[in-house]
Amino acid sequence: MKGIVVPIVTPFNEKEELDLDALGEVTRYLLREGIEWIMALGTTGEFNMLSEEEKVLVVRTVVEHGKGKVIAGINENSSYNAAKLAKQYADVGASELITIPPLYHRTDELGIVKFYESIAKVGLPVYVYNIPSLVGYEFPPTALHKLVEEGVVSGMKYTTSDLVAFLRLTAYAKEANSSFNSLMGEDRLIVDAIARGADGTVAGSGNVAPELVVQAVRLTRDGNLREALKIQEKLTTLVEAIMEGDYPALLKAAMRYRGVSGGKCRSPLHSTPESEGRVYTVMKSMGL
Protein backbone atom coordinates (compact mmCIF):
# COMPACT_ATOMS: atom_id res chain seq x y z
CA MET A 1 0.00 0.00 0.00
CA LYS A 2 1.32 3.37 -1.00
CA GLY A 3 0.17 6.51 -2.76
CA ILE A 4 -3.31 7.95 -2.28
CA VAL A 5 -5.32 6.05 0.32
CA VAL A 6 -8.71 7.01 1.75
CA PRO A 7 -10.00 5.49 5.00
CA ILE A 8 -13.58 5.04 3.87
CA VAL A 9 -16.55 5.90 6.10
CA THR A 10 -18.95 3.20 7.22
CA PRO A 11 -22.47 4.40 6.37
CA PHE A 12 -25.32 3.71 8.79
CA ASN A 13 -29.01 4.40 8.14
CA GLU A 14 -31.42 6.26 10.43
CA LYS A 15 -31.83 3.09 12.54
CA GLU A 16 -28.02 2.89 12.90
CA GLU A 17 -27.94 -0.27 10.78
CA LEU A 18 -25.19 -0.89 8.25
CA ASP A 19 -26.00 0.56 4.83
CA LEU A 20 -23.99 -1.70 2.56
CA ASP A 21 -25.48 -0.25 -0.61
CA ALA A 22 -24.23 3.20 0.37
CA LEU A 23 -20.84 1.71 1.26
CA GLY A 24 -20.56 0.24 -2.23
CA GLU A 25 -21.52 3.58 -3.76
CA VAL A 26 -18.87 5.46 -1.79
CA THR A 27 -16.23 2.88 -2.71
CA ARG A 28 -16.96 3.26 -6.43
CA TYR A 29 -17.06 7.04 -6.11
CA LEU A 30 -13.61 7.18 -4.52
CA LEU A 31 -12.07 5.00 -7.21
CA ARG A 32 -13.64 7.11 -9.97
CA GLU A 33 -12.05 10.19 -8.40
CA GLY A 34 -8.55 8.72 -8.59
CA ILE A 35 -8.08 7.22 -5.13
CA GLU A 36 -5.56 4.39 -5.38
CA TRP A 37 -6.34 2.36 -2.24
CA ILE A 38 -9.36 2.04 0.05
CA MET A 39 -8.81 1.46 3.76
CA ALA A 40 -11.85 -0.16 5.35
CA LEU A 41 -12.46 0.12 9.09
CA GLY A 42 -10.07 2.77 10.25
CA THR A 43 -10.90 5.54 12.70
CA THR A 44 -12.94 7.24 9.97
CA GLY A 45 -14.76 3.94 9.43
CA GLU A 46 -15.84 3.79 13.11
CA PHE A 47 -14.08 0.44 13.50
CA ASN A 48 -14.76 0.29 17.23
CA MET A 49 -18.52 0.65 16.69
CA LEU A 50 -19.10 -2.64 14.86
CA SER A 51 -19.53 -6.29 15.77
CA GLU A 52 -17.15 -8.90 14.37
CA GLU A 53 -19.77 -10.04 11.87
CA GLU A 54 -20.39 -6.47 10.73
CA LYS A 55 -16.68 -5.84 10.26
CA VAL A 56 -16.39 -8.80 7.92
CA LEU A 57 -19.46 -7.62 5.99
CA VAL A 58 -17.92 -4.17 5.58
CA VAL A 59 -14.63 -5.57 4.28
CA ARG A 60 -16.41 -7.97 1.94
CA THR A 61 -18.50 -5.12 0.51
CA VAL A 62 -15.53 -2.83 -0.04
CA VAL A 63 -13.62 -5.69 -1.68
CA GLU A 64 -16.54 -6.37 -4.03
CA HIS A 65 -16.49 -2.77 -5.24
CA GLY A 66 -12.83 -1.90 -4.63
CA LYS A 67 -11.03 -3.54 -7.57
CA GLY A 68 -8.61 -5.45 -5.36
CA LYS A 69 -6.90 -2.58 -3.56
CA VAL A 70 -8.41 -2.85 -0.10
CA ILE A 71 -6.61 -2.70 3.23
CA ALA A 72 -8.69 -3.90 6.18
CA GLY A 73 -8.45 -2.48 9.69
CA ILE A 74 -8.15 -4.47 12.91
CA ASN A 75 -8.68 -3.01 16.39
CA GLU A 76 -8.52 -6.02 18.68
CA ASN A 77 -6.54 -6.14 21.92
CA SER A 78 -5.85 -9.87 22.04
CA SER A 79 -3.61 -11.67 19.59
CA TYR A 80 -6.21 -14.44 19.38
CA ASN A 81 -9.05 -12.17 18.28
CA ALA A 82 -6.82 -10.11 15.99
CA ALA A 83 -5.53 -13.21 14.18
CA LYS A 84 -9.05 -14.61 13.91
CA LEU A 85 -10.32 -11.39 12.32
CA ALA A 86 -7.29 -11.22 10.01
CA LYS A 87 -8.13 -14.71 8.72
CA GLN A 88 -11.74 -13.70 8.05
CA TYR A 89 -10.60 -10.58 6.20
CA ALA A 90 -8.25 -12.66 4.08
CA ASP A 91 -11.05 -15.10 3.30
CA VAL A 92 -13.28 -12.32 1.89
CA GLY A 93 -10.51 -10.89 -0.28
CA ALA A 94 -8.70 -8.13 1.61
CA SER A 95 -5.35 -7.31 0.01
CA GLU A 96 -3.55 -6.07 3.12
CA LEU A 97 -4.13 -5.53 6.84
CA ILE A 98 -3.57 -2.63 9.21
CA THR A 99 -3.89 -2.66 12.98
CA ILE A 100 -3.39 -0.45 15.98
CA PRO A 101 -1.23 -1.93 18.75
CA PRO A 102 -2.92 -3.23 21.91
CA LEU A 103 -4.45 -0.59 24.16
CA TYR A 104 -6.16 -0.46 27.57
CA HIS A 105 -4.40 -3.65 28.70
CA ARG A 106 -0.92 -2.49 27.81
CA THR A 107 1.94 -4.86 27.06
CA ASP A 108 5.69 -4.48 26.64
CA GLU A 109 7.63 -4.42 23.37
CA LEU A 110 7.88 -8.21 23.25
CA GLY A 111 4.10 -8.44 23.57
CA ILE A 112 3.63 -5.91 20.78
CA VAL A 113 5.99 -7.82 18.49
CA LYS A 114 4.21 -11.12 19.16
CA PHE A 115 0.84 -9.42 18.57
CA TYR A 116 1.86 -8.37 15.06
CA GLU A 117 3.52 -11.72 14.37
CA SER A 118 0.23 -13.49 15.11
CA ILE A 119 -1.59 -11.33 12.56
CA ALA A 120 1.11 -11.76 9.90
CA LYS A 121 0.65 -15.54 9.95
CA VAL A 122 -2.41 -15.10 7.74
CA GLY A 123 -0.02 -14.34 4.88
CA LEU A 124 -1.08 -10.79 3.93
CA PRO A 125 1.08 -7.67 4.19
CA VAL A 126 0.56 -6.03 7.60
CA TYR A 127 0.79 -2.34 8.43
CA VAL A 128 1.19 -0.61 11.77
CA TYR A 129 -1.45 2.01 12.56
CA ASN A 130 0.42 4.44 14.80
CA ILE A 131 -2.04 6.97 16.24
CA PRO A 132 -0.71 8.02 19.67
CA SER A 133 -3.51 10.53 20.34
CA LEU A 134 -6.09 7.72 20.48
CA VAL A 135 -4.03 4.66 21.44
CA GLY A 136 -2.34 6.54 24.29
CA TYR A 137 1.30 5.90 23.45
CA GLU A 138 3.83 6.14 20.64
CA PHE A 139 4.63 2.90 18.84
CA PRO A 140 8.02 1.81 20.24
CA PRO A 141 10.71 2.51 17.61
CA THR A 142 12.77 -0.55 18.52
CA ALA A 143 9.71 -2.80 18.20
CA LEU A 144 8.95 -1.28 14.80
CA HIS A 145 12.55 -1.77 13.68
CA LYS A 146 12.45 -5.44 14.70
CA LEU A 147 9.11 -6.04 12.96
CA VAL A 148 10.35 -4.41 9.76
CA GLU A 149 13.72 -6.16 9.85
CA GLU A 150 12.06 -9.56 10.25
CA GLY A 151 9.54 -8.87 7.47
CA VAL A 152 6.53 -8.99 9.78
CA VAL A 153 5.21 -5.54 8.82
CA SER A 154 5.44 -3.77 5.47
CA GLY A 155 4.77 -0.21 6.50
CA MET A 156 3.06 2.24 8.80
CA LYS A 157 0.29 4.79 8.82
CA TYR A 158 1.42 7.43 11.30
CA THR A 159 -1.19 9.96 12.38
CA THR A 160 0.70 12.79 14.03
CA SER A 161 1.02 16.56 13.81
CA ASP A 162 4.75 16.19 14.56
CA LEU A 163 6.39 16.02 11.14
CA VAL A 164 9.86 15.61 12.64
CA ALA A 165 8.72 12.55 14.62
CA PHE A 166 7.15 11.10 11.47
CA LEU A 167 10.33 11.57 9.45
CA ARG A 168 12.59 10.28 12.22
CA LEU A 169 10.57 7.09 12.79
CA THR A 170 10.27 6.51 9.04
CA ALA A 171 14.04 6.84 8.55
CA TYR A 172 14.70 4.44 11.43
CA ALA A 173 12.33 1.84 9.95
CA LYS A 174 13.84 2.18 6.47
CA GLU A 175 17.24 1.37 7.98
CA ALA A 176 15.82 -2.07 8.68
CA ASN A 177 14.26 -2.45 5.22
CA SER A 178 14.40 0.18 2.49
CA SER A 179 11.09 -1.06 1.03
CA PHE A 180 9.22 0.01 4.19
CA ASN A 181 6.22 2.18 3.24
CA SER A 182 5.45 5.25 5.33
CA LEU A 183 2.07 6.95 5.03
CA MET A 184 1.11 10.26 6.60
CA GLY A 185 -2.20 10.07 8.44
CA GLU A 186 -2.49 13.78 9.28
CA ASP A 187 -4.38 15.47 6.43
CA ARG A 188 -2.83 18.84 7.22
CA LEU A 189 0.67 17.52 6.47
CA ILE A 190 0.13 15.64 3.20
CA VAL A 191 2.31 17.88 1.04
CA ASP A 192 5.02 18.37 3.67
CA ALA A 193 5.34 14.63 4.27
CA ILE A 194 5.36 13.51 0.64
CA ALA A 195 7.77 16.29 -0.34
CA ARG A 196 10.14 14.87 2.29
CA GLY A 197 9.93 11.28 1.15
CA ALA A 198 6.72 9.77 2.54
CA ASP A 199 5.33 7.03 0.31
CA GLY A 200 1.78 8.28 0.50
CA THR A 201 -1.08 9.52 2.60
CA VAL A 202 -4.14 8.06 4.30
CA ALA A 203 -6.51 11.02 4.14
CA GLY A 204 -9.96 10.99 5.72
CA SER A 205 -10.80 14.26 3.98
CA GLY A 206 -10.68 12.29 0.74
CA ASN A 207 -14.19 11.06 1.54
CA VAL A 208 -15.37 14.65 1.07
CA ALA A 209 -12.93 16.11 -1.45
CA PRO A 210 -11.03 13.27 -3.13
CA GLU A 211 -10.11 15.51 -6.03
CA LEU A 212 -8.20 17.83 -3.69
CA VAL A 213 -6.25 14.98 -2.10
CA VAL A 214 -5.38 13.59 -5.54
CA GLN A 215 -4.26 17.02 -6.75
CA ALA A 216 -2.15 17.64 -3.64
CA VAL A 217 -0.30 14.34 -4.00
CA ARG A 218 0.21 14.51 -7.76
CA LEU A 219 1.41 18.12 -7.72
CA THR A 220 3.86 17.27 -4.95
CA ARG A 221 5.14 14.23 -6.83
CA ASP A 222 5.63 16.45 -9.90
CA GLY A 223 7.64 18.95 -7.87
CA ASN A 224 5.06 21.72 -8.21
CA LEU A 225 5.11 22.62 -4.53
CA ARG A 226 3.70 26.11 -4.95
CA GLU A 227 0.44 24.79 -6.40
CA ALA A 228 0.46 21.78 -4.09
CA LEU A 229 0.60 24.05 -1.04
CA LYS A 230 -2.39 25.99 -2.33
CA ILE A 231 -4.38 22.77 -2.42
CA GLN A 232 -3.01 21.81 0.99
CA GLU A 233 -4.31 25.08 2.42
CA LYS A 234 -7.81 24.21 1.18
CA LEU A 235 -7.60 20.74 2.70
CA THR A 236 -6.39 22.17 6.00
CA THR A 237 -9.31 24.61 6.11
CA LEU A 238 -11.75 21.78 5.41
CA VAL A 239 -10.21 19.43 7.99
CA GLU A 240 -10.17 22.04 10.74
CA ALA A 241 -13.87 22.73 10.18
CA ILE A 242 -14.70 19.02 10.26
CA MET A 243 -12.67 18.41 13.43
CA GLU A 244 -14.61 21.01 15.44
CA GLY A 245 -17.22 18.38 16.31
CA ASP A 246 -17.55 14.63 16.74
CA TYR A 247 -15.47 12.71 14.22
CA PRO A 248 -16.49 11.43 11.73
CA ALA A 249 -19.99 12.87 12.20
CA LEU A 250 -19.15 16.23 10.65
CA LEU A 251 -17.14 14.54 7.91
CA LYS A 252 -20.26 12.59 6.97
CA ALA A 253 -22.27 15.83 7.04
CA ALA A 254 -19.74 17.35 4.66
CA MET A 255 -20.17 14.36 2.35
CA ARG A 256 -23.94 14.87 2.34
CA TYR A 257 -23.39 18.51 1.40
CA ARG A 258 -21.58 17.28 -1.72
CA GLY A 259 -24.25 14.70 -2.51
CA VAL A 260 -22.25 11.66 -1.40
CA SER A 261 -24.08 9.02 0.65
CA GLY A 262 -21.87 8.74 3.73
CA GLY A 263 -24.83 7.93 5.97
CA LYS A 264 -25.08 8.59 9.69
CA CYS A 265 -22.81 7.69 12.62
CA ARG A 266 -23.67 5.32 15.41
CA SER A 267 -24.52 6.91 18.74
CA PRO A 268 -23.19 8.64 20.69
CA LEU A 269 -21.34 10.26 17.77
CA HIS A 270 -23.46 13.05 16.36
CA SER A 271 -23.56 16.44 14.70
CA THR A 272 -25.95 19.35 15.19
CA PRO A 273 -27.60 21.69 12.69
CA GLU A 274 -25.37 24.46 14.03
CA SER A 275 -22.11 22.51 13.64
CA GLU A 276 -23.15 21.28 10.21
CA GLY A 277 -24.01 24.83 9.19
CA ARG A 278 -20.52 26.01 10.09
CA VAL A 279 -18.98 23.27 7.95
CA TYR A 280 -21.28 24.08 5.04
CA THR A 281 -20.31 27.75 5.25
CA VAL A 282 -16.63 26.84 5.02
CA MET A 283 -17.24 24.47 2.12
CA LYS A 284 -19.28 27.05 0.23
CA SER A 285 -16.49 29.60 0.64
CA MET A 286 -14.08 27.03 -0.84
CA GLY A 287 -16.27 26.34 -3.84
CA LEU A 288 -17.13 22.85 -2.68
pLDDT of residue 206: 98
Considering the domain 3-225 in this protein, what is its CATH number?
A: 3.20.20.70
Q: How confident is the model at residue 263 (pLDDT cuts 50, 70, 90)?
A: very high
Point out the residues that are catalytic. 129, 157
207 vs 238: CA distance, rounded Å:
12
HEC readout, the chain: CCEEEEECCCCECCCCCECHHHHHHHHHHHHHCCCCEEEECCCCCCHHHCCHHHHHHHHHHHHHHCCCCEEEEECCCCHHHHHHHHHHHHHCCCCEEEECCCCCCCCCHHHHHHHHHHHHCCCCCEEEEECHHHHCCCCCHHHHHHHHHCCCCCEEEECCCCHHHHHHHHHHHHHHCCCCEEEECCHHHHHHHHHCCCCEEECHHHHCCHHHHHHHHHHHHCCCHHHHHHHHHHHHHHHHHHCCCCCCHHHHHHHHHCCCCCCECCCCCCCCHHHHHHHHHHHHHHCC
The one-letter amino acid code at 184 reads: M
pLDDT of residue 274: 95
Distance of CA 15 to the CA centre of its chain: 26
81 vs 128: CA distance, rounded Å:
17
153 is an annotated ligand-binding site residue = no
pLDDT of residue 243: 95
pLDDT of residue 72: 98
Lowest-pLDDT range of 103-107, 203-207, 234-238: 103-107
Q: How many CA atoms lie within 13 A of 104 on its CB side?
A: 4
pLDDT of residue 185: 97
Cβ distance 228 to 198 under 8 Å? no
Q: Is the pLDDT of residue 106 over 90?
A: no
Q: How many CA atoms lie within 13 A of 86 on its CB side?
A: 27
197 vs 147: CA distance, rounded Å:
21
| Average pLDDT rounded to a whole number, residues 211-236 | 97
Q: Is the pLDDT of residue 62 over 80?
A: yes
pLDDT of residue 2: 82
44 is an annotated ligand-binding site residue = yes
| Average pLDDT rounded to a whole number, residues 49-65 | 98
Q: How confident is the model at residue 1 (pLDDT cuts 50, 70, 90)?
A: confident
Q: Is the pLDDT of residue 71 over 80?
A: yes
| Average pLDDT rounded to a whole number, residues 88-100 | 98
Q: How confident is the model at residue 168 (pLDDT cuts 50, 70, 90)?
A: very high
Cβ distance 187 to 157 under 8 Å? no
